[in-house]
Structure formats: C-alpha cells, structure tokens
C-alpha cells in the first residue's frame, strides 16, 4: 500500500507521465477504507478487453458503497472500485468485439439476454447480470459479456469524460422510460442531482410540464436549461407541500411525481404531491432497512400507481451516449472539476459529487 510521501511521489511522477510499472488503482478494503495501490496491469482473455481509462467519474452510489464497505454487485473485498469510465482499448482478447485503439465507454453491467426479465425488456433486473468494477484505475479489465453487450464506440470529437456519463444518464433515461407521463401532463421531479436533471430533460422533451424541486438555486437554474417549466425549493413541511401543489393544475397535484433522491422522506413527499389517478415513480436508491410509510387511504381512493425504476438497459445505455453526443455542452454542465485518484476518497466521503477523475 502507498501512503503519505510515497503517494505524493507517485502522483508527481504520474503527472510527468513517467510512472508505469504496473498500474495505480483504488482498491476498496472495507467501510471507509479506500486505498491507492500499485497493482499488476490486467490482461485480456477470450472476448475480454483492457481499457486504458481516460476518464472515470465519481458517483453518489460509490459514496454509499464506500460508507458501507460493500455492495452485492462487488463481491468480497478487497476489490477494484469505480463504475463509471471511458477510455481507449489497449488489449483485446481473441474474439473480442473491439480493437486496440478504439475509444470506448463501458457500462457497469451487462444482462444475460435470455432470462424472464431480459425477455421482458427489464434487463436491469436480470437474474444473471454481470457487473464491472474498477474504473478508478489506470487500466480497466472488461469481462467478455460486458465487452460484447455494453461496450460502445465513442463518436469522434466527444470527450471521454462526457461519454462516461452514459451510465448514470442511462439510469435517468430508464426512470423516464418507466413513466407513463404524456405530453401536456404535469410532472413534479423531487431532486435536482444528475438523476433528477436527466429525468426532467427527458420528460420535458416528451412535452410534459415539469416542475423540479431542489434546495440549491444553481440546480434549479440548471433544470430550467434542461427544460423544466418551473422550479421550486424542496418542500420540507406542510407549507412547502402546499406551495408546490398550488403550482400543479387546479392545485390537485401532478399527474406524475418522481422521487429522484434515495431518501424515504422524499418518497413520501412524492406520494403527497400526486393527483388522483396519478403515478409515483420511486427512482433514487434508498439505504438498507429503510421503510416507506405512506397514507393508505389516498393511495387506494386515489387509485395511485406506485412504481420504481432501477439501473439501466442496453437500450437506455445506447440512448444515453446518443443524447450526450448530440448536446455535449448541456451534459458538460453535469460534470464537476477534474481530480486525481488520490482525491477520490475525499470526494466520496463528502457525498460523491460528480468529478472527472483522470487516472
């Protein structure tokens, strides 16, 4: 393990482009324990590829995983960490569907394509899904299934950091795709993080009247550029709820509400703001053991549909890269400043705001 002065020396050498004995990688060892280590460079077997990572992205999901020290998708620790990234293929195994020199973005999973859920177009629920982890490193090993199903060529001129947004954007597009919101209908999106912004943009594009609620003024301003018809502070009490409800048609709530934050209190707010006959989409991932408490009467007598959206599908992953490539300036607003591998732990400890990691 590298620490203190060693780490500073390695960072300085890497900045000069001179440090390549193996590779530098962030390895998750347990709760709050993320270490920058020197590891052997991966090699590619049949169908597999190795990607030199040009850009990885930090993510609130990684912040949660680091705090808990594990995730079902990762397997036992110690394990390479990071799940959003793009780069250049430097090694391709026999029969791999990519060639050395290709600029690519990889998803953090790939479905089997044959189970009941894959068959139904709900590949995020695949019973035999394969996950990828390890984008916080100089080199990333891509399993054969992911290389075959969810490795995409980055269009010319698109920055790899932008392309790396394809995974989180694909999750947001999945959230929008799950919603029955129709053109002209009212939608309230709770939360102006990346997921809320992408869902806002997708539903506004569909012709919905989106009201995005978030406590941060800069996120509300971004939502307007993403297509929101109106924005408002996040409702935290009865007054806040009344304020947002008053913005919906006849003050009777929105046709569709989306909780784009993984907090049960926000999920409950989403239920409180939907109109009779409407739909609530629970999108942000809650913590383990959280329990949703909603008033049963309004759900029953209002025929409210409660649904959820999780992860992404190969189709939304492709749609995400297409959308990003078509509007790079807009999506660039979702990226934060650049950092090095040694700063990732600090960013994740602070909640995992989007940062571009240049390994």
| Contact residues for Zn ion, defined by CB under 5 A | 59, 61, 111-112, 115, 118, 126, 168
Q: Are 298 and 319 in contact (CB under 8 A)?
A: no
Instruction: Locate the DSSP E strands across 40-185.
Output: 49-57, 79-80, 85-92, 103-106, 109-110, 130-131, 139-142, 151-153
* Neighbouring-strand partners of residue 140: 51
CB of 16 to Zn ion, least distance (A): 31
How far is the C-alpha of 205 from the C-alpha of 31, rounded, in Å?
Answer: 40
Nearest C-alpha neighbor of 65 from the set 75, 53, 54: 75
Q: Are 197 and 139 in contact (CB under 8 A)?
A: no
Helix (H, G, I), strand (E, B) or coil at 73: coil
How far is the C-alpha of 74 from the C-alpha of 266, rounded, in Å?
Answer: 28
Buried b (16+ CB within 10 A) or exposed e, 84-119: bbbbbbbbbbeebebeeebbbbbbbbbbbeebebbe
CB of 84 to Zn ion, least distance (A): 5
Compute the chain's Rg from CA coordinates: 21
CB of 91 to Zn ion, least distance (A): 25
DSSP of 12-45, one letter per residue? Answer: HHHHTT---SSEEEEEEEETTEEEEEEEPPP---
CB of 42 to Zn ion, least distance (A): 21
CB of 123 to Zn ion, least distance (A): 6
Instruction: Locate the DSSP E strands across the chain.
Output: 23-30, 33-39, 49-57, 79-80, 85-92, 103-106, 109-110, 130-131, 139-142, 151-153, 186-190, 209-213, 230-232, 254-259, 274-282, 305-308, 338-339, 356-357
Nearest C-alpha neighbor of 90 from the set 123, 37, 41: 41
CB of 273 to Zn ion, least distance (A): 26
């Amino acid at each position: 393990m590298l620490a203190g002065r060693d780490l500073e020396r390695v960072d300085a050498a890497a900045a000069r482009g001179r440090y390549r004995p193996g590779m530098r990688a962030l390895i998750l060892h347990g709760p709050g324990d993320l270490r920058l280590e020197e590891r052997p460079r991966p090699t590619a077997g049949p169908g597999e590829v190795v990607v030199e990572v040009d850009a990885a992205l930090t993510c609130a999901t990684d912040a949660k995983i680091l705090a808990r020290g594990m995730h079902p998708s990762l397997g036992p620790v110690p394990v390479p960490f990071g799940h959003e990234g793009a780069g250049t293929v430097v090694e391709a195994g026999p029969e791999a569907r990519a060639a050395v020199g290709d600029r690519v973005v990889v998803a953090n999973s790939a479905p089997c394509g044959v189970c009941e859920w894959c068959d139904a177009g709900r590949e995020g629920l695949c019973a035999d899904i394969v996950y990828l982890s390890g984008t916080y490193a100089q080199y990333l090993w891509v399993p054969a299934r992911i290389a075959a199903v969810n490795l995409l060529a980055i269009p010319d001129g698109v920055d790899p950091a932008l392309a790396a947004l394809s995974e989180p954007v694909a999750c947001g597009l999945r959230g929008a795709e799950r919603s029955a919101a129709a053109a002209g209908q009212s939608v309230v999106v709770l939360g102006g993080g990346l997921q809320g912004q992408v869902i806002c943009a997708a539903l506004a594009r569909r012709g919905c009247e989106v009201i995005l609620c978030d406590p941060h003024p800069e996120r509300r301003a971004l939502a307007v550029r993403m297509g929101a018809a109106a924005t408002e502070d996040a409702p935290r009490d009865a007054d806040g709820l009344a304020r947002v409800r008053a913005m919906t048609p006849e003050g009777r709530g929105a046709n569709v509400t989306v909780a784009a934050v993984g907090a049960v209190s926000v999920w409950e707010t989403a239920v409180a703001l939907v109109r009779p006959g409407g739909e609530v989409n629970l999108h942000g991932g809650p913590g383990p053991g959280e329990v949703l408490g909603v008033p049963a009467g309004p759900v029953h007598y209002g025929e409210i549909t409660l649904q959820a959206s999780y992860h992404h599908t190969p189709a939304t992953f492709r749609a995400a890269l297409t959308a990003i490539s078509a509007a790079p300036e807009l999506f660039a607003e979702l990226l934060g400043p650049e950092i090095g591998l040694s700063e990732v732990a600090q960013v994740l400890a602070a909640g995992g705001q989007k940062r571009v990691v240049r390994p």
